[in-house]
Amino acid sequence: MKLPIITWMLLIGHFGAIDLPAVTIEKISLPVVADIQRADIYYVKCAAAPKAILVLCPGYNGSGEVLIQETTWQKFVGENNLGLVGVSFASDAEALKGGRGYYYASQGSGELLLQAIRQAYGQDLPLLIYGFSGGAQFTSRFVEWKPDRVIAWCAYSAEWWDKPAKSEKMPPGIVACGDEDERLGASLIYFKQGRAMKKPWLWIDLPKAGHAWSALLDDFVRAYFEIILYGDGKSPGIWVDIDTMKKYPNQKDIVYSSESAWLPSEDLLPLWKKIDVP
């Protein structure tokens, strides 16, 4: 029987990574396009017929193969009937800073990812996307480019962000950054710009965290994704204040101020309070 997400997180915290049967990591190398020097996708099939794909996006020019080797992610996708993909793109730093290259999903890298998923799993499937640093750059722009393909997402600690765009489809997401990371200001501004457009986003300011992957954030993202995956699509979630970290008293009057944020369930409120700096 599937463990509730909170119980599962406690088991991970007390006993570490859980042993899983060995999985085969496969690789697809795609033809490169302008300003992209490497376009590799790593994937595993932990579920026979996945209902969606979890895409993990590493930092600048990193390899997603390392991320999908982690047993915690393999366990998560196996228990939730998901595919698992790690992105491995590369572009010159100058091109990226000039608005070109794989950070910019609409310029080719996004289509390369979708092509690889189609090739690996035999069909187009909805996506959960989680990216750090350079991967957050790709994640945030992919969501803006193809919001209809995304169930939920997390973009953690990008150096710079494009201004969010208005769209009919607005998948829920997390914007996060460490409180000791120089990218904090830019990340918070991006979050507030999105909230001003009524996007259902959550802000996380990780305590005592610099520019590095966070196991605490990973755990929260898994809980957040799982609640959204098993939701009926009708639950309103809850609105919270990112300064006071309290639930708004009147949830019927949805507050669209830049100080408000959205959680898919009140069950996540204690976990959010533990990993966010008010």
Tens of pLDDT, residues 55-64: 999 999 999 9
Is it the case that residue 1 has pLDDT exceeding 50?
no
The ranges assigned to domains in the chain are 5-234+267-275
Pick from 146, 174, 169, 170: nearest CA to 158: 174
Instruction: Say which CATH class 5-234+267-275 falls into.
Output: alpha beta
Alpha-carbon span 227 to 221, nearest angstrom: 10
pLDDT-derived band at 47, boundaries 50, 70, 90 = confident
* pTM, two decimal places: 0.91
Determine contact, residues 84/53, Cβ cutoff 8 Å: yes
What's the whole-number mean pLDDT along residues 136-144? 98
